[in-house]
């Protein structure tokens, strides 16, 4: 359940405790991952039994310790108390009281006579709470300046969090490092910069991820920041037993270590693998020796291949493999793997829910196929045609050299007639004989050229030669036909008739 800080105000906006993912009150959010429900709170103690005088106090980021109530204060869950610090005092919140504290102490192997169990001074006053709140507000700025000092000293460490004590006289710096770090000069610089007592505390990668929180690859909040308290060792053998690919990008979590969830189903996999033969077991058949390739634990299928023919894999069931192994133990050879593979019938599975592939995690890995555009298809080139006598010859290209040494060929009059002639200049006058020759040549032109196969008709816009004398004769004829401009309209009408 959420606390009053997480509820909405009159304007409809959430209040929030402004703790950046860690609950400031201890009853909700990631700060409640170690919260314990006191199911014995409504039960009365037997007669003559004194209540347990040790309480569980919670601090920032879920850090919890046990303290004795020597003053016999009346405390309940959620009270803010001032406890013993080293040195000074600290401010915390009561997270658990009663008989369940004995269970938590037994779980952590802490006895009531231990030196780690300190005492509770009093309930926190308003002045204590104000000093505590001011110290909490300075943590972000202290963390930022601390990282600047670390980078200036070029230390191979990462400052993950800063926690001030309740009285504001001491600060604990949490850091992670792969190697041993000499931070003696760092402590001097931090103490002089903030005028406080400095305590350096190294945490592991998993503890840092638990303090910071995040979302895992499964889409849910990290287990270490919600409910997981004990971090067990995870080996790559857990991935091998579950037939997973040893890909560090998929097996590693946000902390950089192997995911804790690899240990969740490891026991069930180990129980299922007891019925499977070992991977180094060689099957002896009539065709040759077969070696193991891979297996499917859920479907109880195994894949084998011949030593000499490794290009093809054969799928066998678990019962068939045990049958071949039993025959080999009796000094007999099993049948070829091809015969066993034919006996397996795979029933087609019809999936009506996963129509679009929304359940596949790798549906976006494959690139999209490009659609072929009809316009982008290239047309097939036409076959080259044999040159005819009537077709024009192409002029030589620029790259081809001109051959001047070849003998001159006879001029073809028909081809020359088809070529357009240049326009005559206005200043020069040609004799009348040329006009007659041009008319004769135009009459001798063929009306249509023979069409070659696969060719279409193309109209050539050839300019016709103009003769200035013929144009003058046409103008004279037109002028003769026009009526003369006279004042008599009747004369013009008679001419028209």
Summarised one tens digit per residue, pLDDT across range 231-264 is: 888 999 999 999 888 898 899 998 889 999 999 9
Output the pLDDT for position 343: 75
- pLDDT, averaged across the chain: 76
Output the pLDDT for position 248: 87
Provide the β-strand partners of residue 67.
Answer: 55, 118
What pTM was estimated for this model as a whole? 0.56
Summarised one tens digit per residue, pLDDT across range 418-465 is: 555 556 555 545 445 444 444 444 444 444 444 444 444 444 455 555
Domains in the chain and their CATH numbers?
Answer: 1-32 (no CATH), 134-211 (3.30.300), 232-273 (no CATH), 276-343 (no CATH)
Output the pLDDT for position 420: 55
pLDDT above 80 (res 414): no
Summarised one tens digit per residue, pLDDT across range 30-82 is: 445 556 677 777 778 787 788 889 999 999 877 889 999 988 898 888 899 99
């Amino acid at each position: 359940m959420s606390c009053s800080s997480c509820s909405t105000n009159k304007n409809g906006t959430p209040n929030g405790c402004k703790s950046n993912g860690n609950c400031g009150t201890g009853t909700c959010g990631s700060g409640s991952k170690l919260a314990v429900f006191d199911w014995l709170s409504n039960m009365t103690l037997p007669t003559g039994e004194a209540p347990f005088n040790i309480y569980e106090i919670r601090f920032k980021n879920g850090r919890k310790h046990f303290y004795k109530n020597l003053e016999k204060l009346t405390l309940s869950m959620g009270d803010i108390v001032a406890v013993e610090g080293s040195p000074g005092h600290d401010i915390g919140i009561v997270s658990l009281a009663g008989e369940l504290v004995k269970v938590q102490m037994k779980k952590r192997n802490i006895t009531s006579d231990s030196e780690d169990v300190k005492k509770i001074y009093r309930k926190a006053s308003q002045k204590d709470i104000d000093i505590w709140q001011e110290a909490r507000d300075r943590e972000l700025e202290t963390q930022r300046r601390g990282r600047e000092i670390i980078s200036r000293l070029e230390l191979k460490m990462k400052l993950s969090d800063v926690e001030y004590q309740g009285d504001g006289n001491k600060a604990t710096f949490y850091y992670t490092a792969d190697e041993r770090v000499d931070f003696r000069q760092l402590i001097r610089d931090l103490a002089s910069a903030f005028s406080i007592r400095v305590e350096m505390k190294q945490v592991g990668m998993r503890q840092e991820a638990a303090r910071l929180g995040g979302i895992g690859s499964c889409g849910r909040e990290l287990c270490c920041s919600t409910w997981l308290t004990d971090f067990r060792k995870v080996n790559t053998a857990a991935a091998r037993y579950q037939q997973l690919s040893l890909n560090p990008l998929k097996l590693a979590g946000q902390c950089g270590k192997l995911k804790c969830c690899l240990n969740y189903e490891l026991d069930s996999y180990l129980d299922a693998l007891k019925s499977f033969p070992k991977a180094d077991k060689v099957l002896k058949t009539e065709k040759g020796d077969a070696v193991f390739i891979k297996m499917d634990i859920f479907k109880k299928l195994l894949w084998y291949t011949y030593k000499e023919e490794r290009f093809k894999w054969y799928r066998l069931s678990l019962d068939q493999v045990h049958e071949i192994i039993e025959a080999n133990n009796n000094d007999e050879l099993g049948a070829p793997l091809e015969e066993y593979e034919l006996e397996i019938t795979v029933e087609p599975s019809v999936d009506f829910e996963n129509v679009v592939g929304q359940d596949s995690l790798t549906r976006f890995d494959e690139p999209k196929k490009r659609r072929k555009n009809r316009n982008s298809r290239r047309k097939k080139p036409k076959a080259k045609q044999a040159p005819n006598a009537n077709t024009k010859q192409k002029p030589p290209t620029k790259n081809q050299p001109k051959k001047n040494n070849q003998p001159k060929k006879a001029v073809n009059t028909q081809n020359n007639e088809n070529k357009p002639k240049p326009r005559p200049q206005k200043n020069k006058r040609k004799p009348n004989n040329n006009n007659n020759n041009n008319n004769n040549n135009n009459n001798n032109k063929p009306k249509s050229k023979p069409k070659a196969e696969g060719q279409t008709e193309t109209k050539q816009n050839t300019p016709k030669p103009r003769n200035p004398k013929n144009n003058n004769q046409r103008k004279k004829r037109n002028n003769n036909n026009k009526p003369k401009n006279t004042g008599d309209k009747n004369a013009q009408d008679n001419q028209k008739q």
